[in-house]
Amino acid sequence: MSKDAHGTVFLAALVAVVGAGTAGVDTARATEPCGDLEECRAIVEINATDGDIGFHWLADAEDLIGTEIVDPTGRRIFANAAAGRLREQKLTETFGESSEPVCRSWLAEEPDDDVVTLRQFLQRWPAGAYRFRGLADDGEVLSGRTPLTHWLPAAPRRVAFAGGVVTWEAGDSLGVCATREQLWRLVDAGLLPIHPMNVPVKAWEVTLELEDGSHRSFTVRLPARGAAAQSSVTIPPEFLYSVGPDTPAKIEVGAIGGRLEVGDDDNATFTELGGLCLRRDQGCAEPE
């Protein structure tokens, strides 16, 4: 099949299976070339406080008009295609995240809410090489692959905020999604390669997010190992004093996994500290 014909078939397949729009993903950062693509990444992100788990991805190359992802079993799991003026403008980055159903039935707010346990999630998203393909506007098909691992870092614990300083400690579990003992059982069953308490953490990601409708936040990523390792961060006073009195906020501290011997995994587990009231005066109103 010629390059043009191959590109036409690929685009037709993409158009046939275009999914819903994607959302921005801060943690799906790729740092190395991915075959013909400039970047690609597939990761697992866990909110250990709210108890939800999601699959995140990123692909990046110049002048694309469509992308697709194929899992280790050979099944296409995502495809998109630009049309109209977006096709004329062309794509570079494509990034998104799955929905994040709760991992425990008692966390569901409604009877018909989806529940996907950690065991079910690991079975649904097998570890292995995920193939990314991008269709360039000249018909060339670019391809590359990146590993999705089940090396899930433990959630930070004892997250606190006082005097403008966020502090935390390394954890030993995945929060409400599984106890330490349940995680050992998943290791014994071969669904986890290693207990999260033993997964190396390469970085901490700290976010202070205002919950006043302004969509403002402060985020920083800090080293978790070596001489520069951190377990606290001071929120810049320039940010704090730009906030009005009685502003509700929350803090997230994420453990970003990474094994030196295989490169970056980037799987992330976050712990939330909610109910904060910045620059308290009369007191923040209870969230609705």
Mean pLDDT of the chain: 87
Which of 98-102, 107-111, 172-176, 201-205 is the least confident region?
107-111
- Within this chain, do residues 134 and 213 fall inside the same structural domain, yes or no? no
More confident: 56 or 263:
56
pTM of this prediction? 0.85
Query: Mean pLDDT, to the nearest integer, of 67-96?
Result: 94
Q: What is the pLDDT of residue 264?
A: 60
The terminus-to-terminus CA distance of the chain in angstroms comes to 58
Is there a single domain that holds both residue 103 and residue 180? no
Chain segment 238-272, per-residue pLDDT in tens: 999 999 999 999 999 999 998 755 556 689 999 99
Closest CA to 13 of 97, 94, 79, 93: 79
Domain boundary among 128, 148, 168: 148
Percent of all residues in the chain with a pLDDT value above 70, rounded to a whole number: 85
DSSP state for residue 176 in the 8-state scheme: G
Give CA–CA dist 139/189, Å, rounded: 45
For residue 235, give its domain range: 157-278
In DSSP terms, 130 is beta-bridged to 146
Query: Over 90: is that where the pLDDT of 44 sits?
Result: yes
pLDDT for the residue numbered 152: 96
Residue 169 vs residue 33, higher pLDDT? 169
Domain count, the chain: 2
Task: Give the mean model confidence (pLDDT) for residues 189-202.
Answer: 95
Q: Tell me, yes or no, whether 34 and 168 share the same domain.
A: no
- Same domain? For 182 and 118 the reply is no
Q: Can you give the pLDDT at residue 249?
A: 96
Which residue is it, tokens 């997010």? 209
**Both 29 and 143 in a single domain?**
yes
56 and 137, same domain (yes or no): yes
Q: Do 98 and 198 share a domain, yes or no? A: no
For residue 52, the cross-strand partners are 47, 102
> pLDDT for 208-245, tens place per residue?
999 999 999 999 999 998 889 999 999 999 999 999 99
C-alpha torsion angle, residues 51, 55, 60, 66 (rounded to 10)? -130
Structural domain ending residue among the three candidates 116, 148, 180? 148
Establish if 191 belongs to a structural domain.
yes
Higher pLDDT, 2 or 79: 79
Burial class of residue 119, CB neighbours in 10 A (0-12, 13-18, 19+): middle
> Do residue 240 and residue 174 come from a single domain?
yes
Query: Across residues 39-67, what is the average pLDDT?
Result: 95
Q: Is residue 125 located within the same domain as residue 166?
A: no
Question: Which helix (H) or strand (E) element contains residue 255?
Answer: strand 247-257
